[in-house]
Amino acid sequence: MVRHGVLILAGAVLLSACGSPEAESGQGTTPSPTASPTTESTPSPSSAPQTPEQEWSSALSTTTGQATVEAQLLTNVEGFERIVAGEGTVQPANGYGDITWSDELATTREIQTVDGHFLELDGTWFLLDGETGVPTKVGFTPLAGLESATNVIRVGEEEVVGVSATRFDANLDPNAGPATMGFSGEELTVVNDATDASLVATIWIDDAGRIVRVLREYSASSPDSDPISATTLYLLSNFTEPTPIEVPETADAIPAPA
């Protein structure tokens, strides 16, 4: 369209020049160049908002560093209930931390570093090998299994311990239940053969994009059709850069009891 207009204008100038005396003598003023058409810049479209699945995934990668953790693990297998509460620090990205646990029977302290998993019981430190697990070890990985989330729903704004956060609900892979819900070795002999299992999770994300609360709920049926359930709850706060976790000097010399 612009090129066509320029051609018409150029033709008009040429015809005018041919009919004037100045044109015949080769003299005359030089016509001023035609102004180039201007184009208006198109504003860039605003970025599309994230989907709930994208917000969930982004929070998993953002929740790094070191945080204070408060944890509760509750299991109920064939009518036998067990509740454990813990407090300490964790580094969610690498599974390291220092947590003190307590239940109605005892208080223990666990440390997990690149050097291994250590347990303090009645003043004595033990080094746990890969096969000697304790159910509270799940506390060092409060975000484990959340990457399998499906059917993510953005519920809305809620307050978590005085902090404004956004709540998300989702389904998790129920096969992750036995490894993430804090079942004891004895309980796992039943849970590993469970049927009709389901695992759901709720997370709360603060304004910095970090997960500040994690709730998981597991349910299934035992081979005898008895109910199985488990709940884990983690509160994460006071995020900082990771700091070295000191391993007790005597821990590496004492194996865990058989």
Report field, pTM of the whole predicted structure over 0.75: yes
Cα separation, 222 vs 199, whole angstroms: 15
Cα separation, 32 vs 30, whole angstroms: 6
Task: Tell me the domain boundaries of the chain.
Answer: 52-253
128-162 pLDDT per residue, tens: 876 667 999 999 999 999 999 999 999 999 999 88
Which segments in the chain show pLDDT lower than 50? 1-31, 33, 39, 43
CATH topology of domain 52-253: outer membrane lipoprotein receptor (LolB), chain A (2.50.20)
